[in-house]
Amino acid sequence: MFATKNRSSIKFMYQLIAMFLVVLLLVGCGGNIPSSEDRPDDEGKPEPVKPEAEKPEAAIQPEEQQGATSEQQQDAGSDTPGSPATASESYGAFIEAKGEVVSILSDALASNPDTAMDSMSLLGIAMVDMLLLPASSFGLGQEAAIATLGLFGLQDVEYSENGNQYSVKHTRDDGKKYELQGVYDKAADALKCKAFIDDKHCLTYDYRKTSFGYIAQIYSVDEDGATVVFKLTLSGKNGAVGISRESAEPPALTGSETIDFPKQCPEWYSIDGDAVTGVTSDGRELSFVYTPSENGE
């Protein structure tokens, strides 16, 4: 019963994110609002992202912003072949690929009586993705971002962009201040984000396009200080998810990671066609054939 609810919850969350991205695209296109990527230098530049000195320990560091000047030159000219036009478009393509693999894995685990409860391990990934919703506005301009994020209940939205660097702030329902910062590397089709609640670092989210699809890494810190790391590889409907409880933030992705990257974690789950393998949180090794449920594919 709980596994069925979990599977439905994950599927619903990704459907909600997909709906949000569609609405944001319609607002951005309908308003025909230019972002700083194609707006003249003297025409209403948004506020720049605040200097990292305000968050000296956790804010995105200069080395993570390398290539910013070349990125601005790329964005001002023609698009890099094969790369999305904006950070928002890149994020939309990634989250669609991620949602498909995580939903299939969740359905596979929940449909198997021996692994039904293990599907609960994947719920945290979908919950983290809800925190990344503001990234869907990166590169669309201040008016489009504020209008659409407001439709989904975000209060006191403040949006700014400076070249390939972005920031979205808003006030949560509990009154706490939330900020999502992001740096988009267009040439690599890679986005790295850091999130803060009341100026306290709570999330680092990193993904990159690869020859086989995507790699991603998520470092999350809850309000009690407990940490979790998710490592993902995505290749069409195939992929893997790794889960570990690391206290320190892992090194940033390099782009050289293999498709087995998540399997370095003590807990991991993989889907390759209809073959499901993995190691559960209590060390059980898994290997079974996936038959999609009525609620699956």
pLDDT digits (tens, 9 = 90+) for 178-211: 999 999 999 999 999 999 999 999 999 999 999 9
76 pLDDT more than 50: no
Domain boundaries, the chain: 2-38+66-289
Report the C-alpha gap between 125 and 297 in whole angstroms.
19
pLDDT band at 230 (very low <50, low <70, confident <90, very high): very high
Report the C-alpha gap between 179 and 32 in whole angstroms.
26
pTM above 0.95, yes or no: no
Which helix (H) or strand (E) element contains residue 197? strand 190-197
Which residue type occupies 295?
Answer: N
Question: Which residues have C-beta within 8 Å of that of residue 146, sequence separation ≥ 6?
Answer: 157, 159
Q: What is the maximum alpha-carbon separation in the chain? A: 62
Half-sphere exposure of 163 (CA within 13 A, CB side): 13
Q: Which of 111-120, 233-242, 270-279 has the lowest mean pLDDT?
A: 111-120
What integer pLDDT is reported at residue 205 of this predicted model?
97
What residues are paired with 95 via a beta bridge? none
What integer pLDDT is reported at residue 251 of this predicted model?
94
Please name which of 189, 190, 191 lies closest in space to residue 181, comparing C-alpha atoms: 191
| Residue found under tokens 């990934």 | 125
* SS3 call for 59: coil
What integer pLDDT is reported at residue 79 of this predicted model?
46
